[in-house]
Structure 1
Amino acid sequence: MGKVTGFLEIDRQVHKYQPASDRIRHFREFTLPMSDKEVEKQAARCMDCGIPYCHGPTGCPVHNQIPDWNDLVYNGDWDNAIRNLHSTNNFPEFTGRICPAPCEEACTLNLEDIPVAIKTIEQAIADKAYETGHIRPYPPEK
């Protein structure tokens, strides 16, 4: 899973937000996306912990296979990352934005350090899937 020493070498980074003075002028997305390389680097922080609490009963309520898709993102396999994410979650484009991320609180790294940026990575997977056509909107017909 990820880079064995990734959590020791790479500091946690999450997406930034537009300044509030800009956000009050529109109703669009206000998070500033990270580059693919930055997200892949963050996914490298996921360590091969013995029991991944992030997707157990104390972690993700939809039981996303977080270590698996973190490893896929770390290796640049975004297509399989969205397939893996869709295997447990039909709407990662929503949950990656609105979920309070109990998985990050349950992350083994959270015991002594700062947890993996799971929510940011999930959001990036969904955004990348939109870019590549793996997620398509289906507007209602009249």
Structure 2
Amino acid sequence: MERDDSNYLDALKEAVEQSKASIGISSVPLGIILLQLKYLAEVSSLLLKLLATMGVFTLFAATILAWFLAITFQSTYAMEVYNRNGVRSEKGNKYAAWIVSYGRGGSAFGEEHLINVSRTLVGPFWILCLIGYACLIMFILALIWQTPAEAAQVPFSSS
């Protein structure tokens, strides 16, 4: 009796799409901060600078983790399609060898490897995202509630 892995491959493909979307969860707010870099460079409040710096650092680190997870999911999906039903494709040997060369040993980018990488990195990703988002919310609130004297020091002109 031959195993049917089509359900597993569909689920893995969905996980690949979700892992790509997690890059946006951390990189979109980072992009918004970086778009406002000209304004942030003129901020004189130490608290605002500290919150913005922590937000940028944690969201950048979360983006790197999300990118690494997405690459791992994509490579695992490619290897599972290559080894569909335990039978290797006749084409793609060079590509499969290249993917495996980035892993440790012959079990790289298999189901067990994916679970181990995910187990290790998903928690830190969400912690970094939460810290980054919290820093951004506190930054916005501190910006809103700063005293008028501090606000007068920072022009809002876009020129």
TM-score, normalising length: structure 1: 0.31
Structure having the higher helix fraction is: 2
Query: Larger RCO: Structure 1 or Structure 2 (Cα < 8 Å, ≥ 6 residues apart)?
Result: 2
TM-score, normalising length: structure 2: 0.29
